[in-house]
């Protein structure tokens, strides 16, 4: 039995270009496109994490437009993808939601375009997901990436995609590549 995989897109605990921890703005592309990838790979929930009340309001408005509003009539599969989204305030709230569902602490795995400590391989994590029931929470950053304070709370980090080359992916592409490596079919 495959363990549950969760995705969190962090808009708090991220850094700006000076390296200072800041809250970032939500983008509609991140909301829609990551929801589509999560739904396609059977991710249990996609958490949009933002400490900013206005951004949570905006996210909920966008979701209800596509789920229940005229958007549901014009592009129904966008609303279907967005059913996987939960909008929350903090990483703690994410962990509590996973705990409530599994009665187990999630294994938190951070992603970054730069090498970080406690690295595991994609193959190793894919194997753990296939063979263990511990829920896995994949963390993705916005702005200039997850802060070191955030990465230090994680159990593991994944190696950068295309390490050692120019490798600054949009977070939407990084999520799709990561899910394909961890859950996608072989060949």
Ligand X SMILES: C[S@@+](CC[C@H](N)C(=O)[O-])C[C@H]1O[C@@H](n2cnc3c(N)ncnc32)[C@H](O)[C@@H]1O
The two counts, helices (H) then strands (E), for the chain are 8, 8
Q: Which is nearer to ligand X, 79 or 160 (CB)?
A: 160
Part of the chain binding ligand X (CB under 6 A), chosen from 49-57, 72-80, 83-91, 136-144? 136-144
Yes or no: say if 37 and 176 are a contact pair by the CB < 8 Å rule. Answer: yes
The secondary element (H helix, E strand) that includes residue 35 is helix 28-40
Q: Does 146 bind ligand X (CB under 6 A)?
A: yes
Q: What's the number of CA atoms in the CB half-sphere (13 Å) around residue 124?
A: 9
Q: Does 149 bind ligand X (CB under 6 A)?
A: no
List 174, 176, 179, 182, residue binding ligand X (CB under 6 A): 174
The 65-84 contact track toward ligand X, x by CB under 6 A, reads --------------------
Part of the chain binding ligand X (CB under 6 A), chosen from 51-59, 127-135, 164-172, 179-187? 164-172
Q: Does 168 bind ligand X (CB under 6 A)?
A: yes
Part of the chain binding ligand X (CB under 6 A), chosen from 34-42, 85-93, 108-116, 127-135? 108-116
3-state secondary structure of 109: strand
Integer Cα distance of 161 and 165 in angstroms: 9
Q: Does 111 bind ligand X (CB under 6 A)?
A: yes
Q: Does 170 bind ligand X (CB under 6 A)?
A: yes
Q: Does 23 bind ligand X (CB under 6 A)?
A: no
- Count Cβ atoms below 10 Å from residue 119 Cβ, excluding itself: 13
Residue 131 Cα distances to 82, 156, 159, 160, 176, angstroms: 28, 18, 21, 24, 22
Which residues contribute to the site for ligand X (CB under 6 A)? 111-113, 140-142, 144-146, 160-162, 167-171, 174
């Amino acid at each position: 039995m495959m363990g549950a995989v969760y995705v969190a897109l962090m808009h708090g605990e991220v850094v700006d270009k000076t390296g200072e921890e800041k809250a970032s703005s939500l983008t509609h592309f991140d909301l829609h496109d990551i929801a589509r990838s999560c739904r396609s790979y059977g991710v249990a929930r996609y958490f949009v994490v933002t400490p900013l009340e206005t951004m949570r309001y905006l996210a909920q408005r966008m979701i209800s437009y596509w789920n229940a509003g005229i958007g549901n009539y014009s592009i129904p599969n966008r609303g279907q993808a967005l059913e996987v989204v939960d909008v929350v305030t903090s990483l703690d709230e994410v962990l509590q939601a996973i705990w409530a569902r599994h009665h187990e602490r999630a294994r938190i795995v951070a992603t970054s375009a730069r090498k970080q400590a406690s690295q595991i391989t994609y193959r190793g994590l894919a194997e753990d997901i296939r063979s263990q029931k511990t829920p896995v929470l994949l963390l993705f950053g916005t702005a200039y990436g997850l802060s070191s304070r955030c990465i230090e709370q994680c159990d593991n980090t994944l190696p950068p995609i295309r390490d050692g080359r120019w490798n600054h992916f949009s977070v939407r592409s990084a999520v799709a590549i990561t899910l394909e490596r961890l859950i996608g079919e072989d060949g």
